[in-house]
Amino acid sequence: MAINTNRPTSPHLQVYKLPLTGIISITHRMTGVMLTAGLILFVYIISALAGGADSYAAMQSVMGLWLLKLVCWGFVYALFFHLCHGVRHLIWDAGSSFELETLNRYAMMELAASLALTLMTFVWGCYGL
């Protein structure tokens, strides 16, 4: 049996452009996983606090690493992104904002709000403003 080579092929990932709403949806799932990992880190911090002075000092030295600081700020961003996306879902639950232009505008607002909230938390946490 001969294979028909004249058939159209499916678009490849290099050709297909994922819409912004699809990227936001995937990011929402990724931040959910990041929040779970962040909660494990949070439990470690709480257990170190309960463990006494030696475990607290060990936790402080570990948390002083720049990579762990970056992970903590990633956790903060994931929290705010998840929050903003949840607000967007509440708007959808009300039965509105399903037009493509509105979906894209809200997606951009969601990204901007989550970045702004993370930046404000960083400034407040580092500078006490």
What domains, with CATH codes, occur in the chain?
20-127 (1.20.1300.10)
Residue 13 pLDDT: 62
DSSP 36-57: HHHHHHHHHHHHHHHT-HHHHH
CA 72 to chain CA centroid, nearest Å: 12
Q: Looking at residues 111-129, what average pLDDT do you find? A: 92
The shares of helix, strand and coil residues in the chain, as percent rounded to the nearest 5, are 75, 0, 25
The pLDDT of residue 11 is above 70: no
Share of residues in the chain with pLDDT > 90 (%): 78
Contact between 118 and 126 (Cβ < 8 Å)? no
Give residue-wise pLDDT tens across range 32-87: 999 999 999 999 999 999 999 999 999 999 999 999 999 999 999 999 999 999 99
Residue 29 pLDDT: 94
The pTM (predicted TM-score) of the whole model is 0.82
Calpha distance 95→89 (Å, rounded): 10
Phi-psi domain of 92 (left: phi exceeds 0; alpha: psi -120 through 50; beta: other): alpha
Contact between 91 and 97 (Cβ < 8 Å)? yes
